[in-house]
Amino acid sequence: MSATILLVEDNPHIMAVNRETLLLEGYRVLEAETVTEGRVLFENENPDLIILDILLPDGNGLQLCEELRAGSNVPILFVTALGHNKEIIAGLKAGGDDYLPKPYDIDVLVTRVEALLRRAVNVPDVITKGGITMNIPSSEVIINGEKLRLPQNELSLLRIFMQNEDKVFTEEYLYGKVWGQPTAGDNQAITVAVSRLRKKIAPAFYDIEKVRGKGYVFLKS
């Protein structure tokens, strides 16, 4: 089951961008524009992570964070236009786990979310499958003891597969996760990237097989 993320944000444009990005990443997204709505959704839905603004129409995100911290260790990422050191310190002292000043790169947001979720559930930063080792934070891949340089699309594909051995992924899902947009019926990029990646991981006795009518699966060869 994918992680559930609660967005507490009163800027509709930022809310929309964050929502669509996180949905594309496979997360379940809840939306609240106020402290009150955020509190209700938290109590009813038990999210796995909260992305919390500080300045909200009916209150302060710092106060909501302190309130939630009294009974929960849910990861909280502050995102706010208040980016001075004193606000960052205040956010961390209130119980926040991380702080991202606006404006921010959306890819940085996704990376922070992934890191907080890994930390929360003790997901390892290093994955090893046979002769393949991937260090997620550094994006380093080692095949049978030798460092392998991969283009970003192949690196992203390999990460998805290594984290989900024996699970079949559709071409549409993979294209959306790696290229960030729908395939529009053109799956040539997936075909080429998978073909190249298969050759590179073959010495480690792993393969990416195509399952007819369903997609691709990563498994021992």
What's the CATH code of the domain at 202?
Answer: 1.10.10.10
Q: Which domain holds residue 46?
A: 4-121
Q: How far is CA 146 from CA 137, 143, 152, 202, 214, in A?
A: 18, 5, 18, 14, 33
- Quick one: pLDDT at residue 193? 94
Residues 97 and 161 in one domain: no
Residues 109 and 191 in one domain: no
Answer yes or no: are the C-beta atoms of 193 and 154 closer than 8 Å: yes
- Quick one: pLDDT at residue 220? 93
Residues 50 and 155 in one domain: no
Residues 77 and 147 in one domain: no
Residues 9 and 115 in one domain: yes
Residues 109 and 168 in one domain: no
Given 121, 155, 172, the domain boundary residue is 121
197-220: per-residue pLDDT in tens?
999 999 999 999 999 988 999 999
44-58: per-residue pLDDT in tens?
888 999 999 999 999
What domain count does the chain have? 2
Given 55, 88, 121, the domain boundary residue is 121
Residues 46 and 131 in one domain: no
CATH of the domain at 24: 3.40.50.2300
Q: Reduce the DSSP state of residue 50 to 3 states and report it.
A: strand
Show Cβ contacts of residue 136 under 8 Å, excluding neighbours closer than 6 positions. 118, 125, 126, 127, 159
Q: Is the pLDDT of residue 175 over 90?
A: no
Whole-model pTM above 0.75? no
Residues 146 and 113 in one domain: no
Given 101, 121, 141, the domain boundary residue is 121
The 8-class DSSP code of residue 2 comes to P
pLDDT band at 181 (very low <50, low <70, confident <90, very high): low
Range with the lowest mean pLDDT among 103-112, 113-122, 127-136? 113-122
Residues 10 and 104 in one domain: yes
Residues 56 and 40 in one domain: yes
Residues 53 and 161 in one domain: no
Q: How many angstroms separate the CA atoms of 153 and 150, rounded? A: 8
Residues 132 and 117 in one domain: no
Token output for 168: 């079949």
